[in-house]
Amino acid sequence: MTMFRFCFLLLLSGIGFSSMKINDDIKVINVYKDALKPNDKSVGVKTAWVKENDLLVLVISSSNKVRHKIPNGFDEVIDVSRKDLSLSISVKLWEEGDPEMFEIRKTARQMSVALIALRGPRLLIDAFGDMNTGKGSYGLAVAPRVEGIRGGAVISAFAYSDPHRVKIQGMKNLVRMNGMSVGIGETRFDYKTKPIKAFGKRKIKGVGSDIAVALTVY
């Protein structure tokens, strides 16, 4: 995998998810999401309906500044954190012989996990993340612009220290949980993507943090 500043892949098992076409060459095969309960020590993430060279994407958010324990075989490519929030993204190309389940160990009091399996893309073109990108009490956050290639896809991930349940604008929303959302869309030009906004409908008082990330694949 060349042509990238940061990489991002993942593997998933979601119940009740139908494959989703992004364009003629890329589709989402499966989505898994889970929020670890207070007494949970880990979560087992199973692969489902994947085959060799599917692009697997692992997104983990937590409620304080921690280093997430990434399963063997994944490469962590983004790690953004401050005292009250962390977001990491790790990637892996699925190969024959990989285990059917990967264990993700809990490292924070509150922790959410999302895994997305993509068929078609082999390269991560660009990725970037930032903190505290929006203002207000509705969870407004803005993922940065990144380089894209026509016919590829852009993936955005948002994490919050408050329990915002946001919708990502102009994207197909794959994951919407309290405190974390993930979306995907097509890149239609050989140029930088537009800023991607996310916000919710419920006002939450406080001065919580947000992390916003955008990644492009081809």
Confidence of residue 83 (pLDDT cuts 50, 70, 90): confident
* 37 Cβ neighbours under 8 A, 6+ residues apart: none
The mean pLDDT value for 184-206 works out to: 91
The answer to whether residue 7 scores a pLDDT higher than 80 is no
For the chain, percent of residues with pLDDT exceeding 70: 91
Distance of CA 37 to the CA centre of its chain: 20
DSSP state at residue 85: E
**Number of other residues whose CB lies within 10 A of the CB of residue 207:** 9
Please report the pLDDT score of residue 207 as a whole number. Answer: 67
Q: How many residues are there in the chain?
A: 218
Q: What pLDDT was estimated at residue 206?
A: 67
CA distances from 183 to 32, 67, 176 (A): 13, 24, 9
